């Protein structure tokens, strides 16, 4: 199995918008191409920010890479770009709303 952790640090005022975007736009696209969501959580990060992270499961790293190619399709890119524009543009979102993004493999200790 291959596991991945996607991690964000988000402005508290943006969490609801961010979670709605995930549920309405990103999650359906990811599930459509076979990604398996183990879970998605959030926790306080600081007084003004929240950590939001998800754990994803795949049969192998190769499967992950194949699925990611499909997930990043032109139709989805158009939806994501439209969402950024509705939020004032990608530059604004990453300057004022999403402060950190990490995407990394996680390895079981069992």
* Owning domain of residue 55: 2-106
- What pLDDT, in 10s, does the model give residues 33-88? 999 999 999 999 999 999 999 999 999 999 999 999 999 999 999 999 999 999 99
- What pLDDT, in 10s, does the model give residues 1-41? 999 999 999 999 999 999 999 999 999 999 999 999 999 99
| Token couple for 13 | 């005022």
* Count of structural domains within the chain: 1
CATH of the domain at 69: 3.30.70.100
Contact 37, 56 (CB under 8 A): yes
Name the pTM for this structure: 0.89
- Which candidate, 106, 14, 110, 25, places its Cα nearest to that of 73? 25
């Amino acid at each position: 199995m291959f596991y991945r952790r996607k991690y964000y640090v988000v402005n508290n005022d943006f969490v609801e918008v961010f979670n709605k975007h995930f549920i309405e736009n990103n999650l359906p696209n990811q599930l459509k191409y076979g990604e398996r969501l183990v879970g998605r959580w959030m926790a306080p990060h600081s007084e003004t920010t929240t950590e939001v992270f998800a754990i994803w499961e795949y049969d192998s790293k190769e499967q992950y890479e194949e699925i990611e190619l499909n997930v990043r399709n032109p139709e989805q890119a158009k939806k994501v770009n439209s969402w950024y524009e509705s939020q004032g543009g990608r530059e604004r979102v990453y300057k004022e709303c999403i402060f950190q993004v990490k995407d990394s493999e996680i390895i079981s200790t069992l």
